[in-house]
């Protein structure tokens, strides 16, 4: 229940609490950065056909960006949250209709309106969970002004319900349709069982996270069909070189994870190196010609401080980003990191954060992906320009701390506190 100020306006604390709950619900869906889905692709194509418009979108909105789970009519996959029309839908939790953006003072100077995209009409409705949390939007967008009747809004709202039903259904899927790997949720569920067995019987267990290098460049240069072939080839190489007892899952677009029962830290690094070399040696053939790709690997082993899948994945993920920062196409073991940087348990979370730098004059919103007592992994829209030292604020936790950037790529920062 929202407690409002006099006059009915929610307080800042109320807004922060509602955003915390919203992100918690989004985190429970575990849908961000997952692969494309044919069912949701049909929904956005249907939006375009039913309303005879240019663009249809099903999106999820985290703390710093709007990410397109399905999109027809636009080429990019995400935009900063502060730059979107949809942020008004997320804040109000109500539909928004903009008949002509050039005549709306909120949007008349927006780059999507004044620039090459030439957006004029926007209709967005909340994408709500069964518990009523607005985790994203479903949008109908056009490059010409138009009227949207009440019946049109009702149809778009029904399509949002269809999209949410599809997302709920995806949560129960066990296998990724493109690569044959376990889905992220299925991988985590099975990994939890392996960890319980390893702890109970006191045997070794290790985790590998790998990410295809420069994958966006493959999609941008050769198209998504080529990207799909790359992912299938990488998955096949991994599956061929793993044991039947190993667990192999697709965490996101180009990110995979592996659980290795009865394998210690040294063995995990050796297994990662074997996979790295096999991927680098493979030539991928298709209508696009020939492609060679590489991958970066991070490894982490079960220990008294890392006895859950969240911590293991966060540690392996952090090591993987250090591999990318060191030049890509290499393997980094969490245990080999500088002792001053090693952290204890990490919780995989989805929280709103703020980065301050330049004597606190510059501010960037971020999404916290994992958090521990000594460090965090955060995602931003663009990491260029962020200095090696900064201040991280997690308002929902009452946390404000100085940090140094240990590793980074285009959108991700690995931070050490202190």
pLDDT in tens, 339-356: 555 556 778 889 999 999
Q: What does the pLDDT average to over 138-162?
A: 98
pLDDT at 6 over 50: no
pLDDT at 36 over 80: yes
Of 129, 186, 131, the closest CA to residue 160 belongs to 129
Question: Tokens 């509602």, residue?
Answer: 18
What is the secondary structure of 198-228 as a DSSP string? Answer: HHHHT--EEEEEEEETTHHHHHHHH-HHHHH
pLDDT band at residue 9, thresholds of 50, 70 and 90?
Answer: low
pLDDT in tens, 91-125: 999 999 999 999 999 999 999 999 999 999 999 99
Mean pLDDT computed over every residue of the chain: 92
Length of the chain: 418
pLDDT at 418: 85
pLDDT at 162 over 60: yes
pLDDT at 237: 97
Considering only residues 17 and 134, tell me which one the structure prediction assigns the higher pLDDT.
134
CB atoms within 10 A of CB 362: 13
Walk me through the domains of the chain, giving residue ranges and CATH numbers: 12-170 (3.30.450.40), 184-336 (3.30.70.270), 346-417 (2.40.10.220)
Within 262-411, strands assigned E span 283-286, 289-292, 295-301, 331-333, 346-357, 362-372, 375-379, 389-394, 399-408
pLDDT at 300: 93
pLDDT band at residue 41, thresholds of 50, 70 and 90?
Answer: very high
pLDDT at 338: 53
pLDDT at 153 over 60: yes
pLDDT at 8: 56
pLDDT in tens, 169-212: 998 899 999 999 999 999 999 999 999 999 999 999 999 999 99
pLDDT at 1 over 70: no
Of 197, 173, 193, 202, the closest CA to residue 185 belongs to 173
Q: Where are the alpha helices (DSSP H) in 326-360?
A: none
pLDDT at 257 over 90: yes
Cα separation of 409 and 120, whole Å? 34
Tokens found for residue 247? 């667990």
Instruction: Please say whether the beta carbons of 388 and 400 come within 8 A.
Output: no
pLDDT band at residue 5, thresholds of 50, 70 and 90?
Answer: very low
């Amino acid at each position: 229940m929202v407690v409002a100020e006099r006059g009915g306006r929610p307080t800042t604390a109320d807004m922060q609490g509602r955003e915390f709950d919203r992100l918690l619900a989004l985190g429970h869906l575990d849908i961000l950065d997952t692969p494309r889905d044919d069912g949701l692709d049909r929904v956005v194509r249907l939006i375009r056909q039913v309303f005879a418009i240019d663009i249809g979108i099903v999106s999820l909105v985290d703390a710093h960006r709007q990410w397109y789970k399905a999109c027809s009519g636009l080429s990019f996959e995400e935009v900063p949250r502060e730059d979107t029309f949809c942020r008004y839908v997320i804040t109000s939790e109500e539909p928004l209709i903009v008949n002509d953006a050039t005549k709306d003072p909120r949007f008349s100077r927006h780059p999507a309106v004044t620039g090459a995209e030439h957006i004029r009409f926007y209709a967005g409705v909340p994408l709500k969970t069964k518990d009523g949390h607005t985790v994203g939007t479903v949008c109908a967008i056009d490059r010409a002004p138009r009227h949207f009747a009440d019946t049109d809004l009702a149809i778009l709202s029904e399509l949002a319900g269809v999209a949410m039903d599809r997302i709920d259904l995806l949560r129960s899927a066990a296998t990724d349709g493109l690569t044959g790997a376990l889905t992220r949720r299925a991988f985590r569920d099975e990994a939890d069982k392996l960890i319980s067995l390893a702890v109970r019987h006191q045997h070794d267990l290790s985790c590998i996270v790998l990410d295809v290098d420069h994958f966006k460049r493959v999609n941008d240069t050769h198209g998504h069909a080529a990207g799909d072939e790359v992912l299938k080839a990488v998955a096949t190489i991994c599956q061929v070189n793993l044991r039947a007892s190993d667990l192999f899952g697709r965490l996101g677009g180009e990110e995979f994870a592996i659980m290795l029962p009865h394998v210690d830290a040294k063995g995990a690094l050796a297994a990662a190196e074997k996979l790295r070399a096999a991927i680098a040696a493979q030539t991928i053939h298709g209508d696009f010609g020939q492609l060679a790709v590489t991958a970066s690997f991070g490894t982490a082993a079960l220990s008294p401080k890392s006895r859950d899948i969240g911590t293991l994945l966060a540690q392996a993920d952090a090591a993987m980003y250090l591999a990318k920062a060191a030049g890509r196409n290499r393997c980094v073991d969490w245990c080999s990191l500088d002792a001053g940087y090693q952290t204890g348990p990490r919780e995989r979370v989805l929280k709103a954060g703020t980065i301050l730098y330049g004597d606190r004059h510059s501010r960037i919103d971020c999404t916290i992906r994992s958090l521990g007592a000594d460090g965090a992994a955060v995602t931003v829209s663009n990491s260029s320009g962020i200095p090696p030292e900064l201040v991280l604020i997690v308002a929902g936790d009452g946390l404000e701390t100085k940090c140094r950037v240990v590793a980074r790529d285009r959108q991700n920062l690995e931070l050490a506190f202190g």
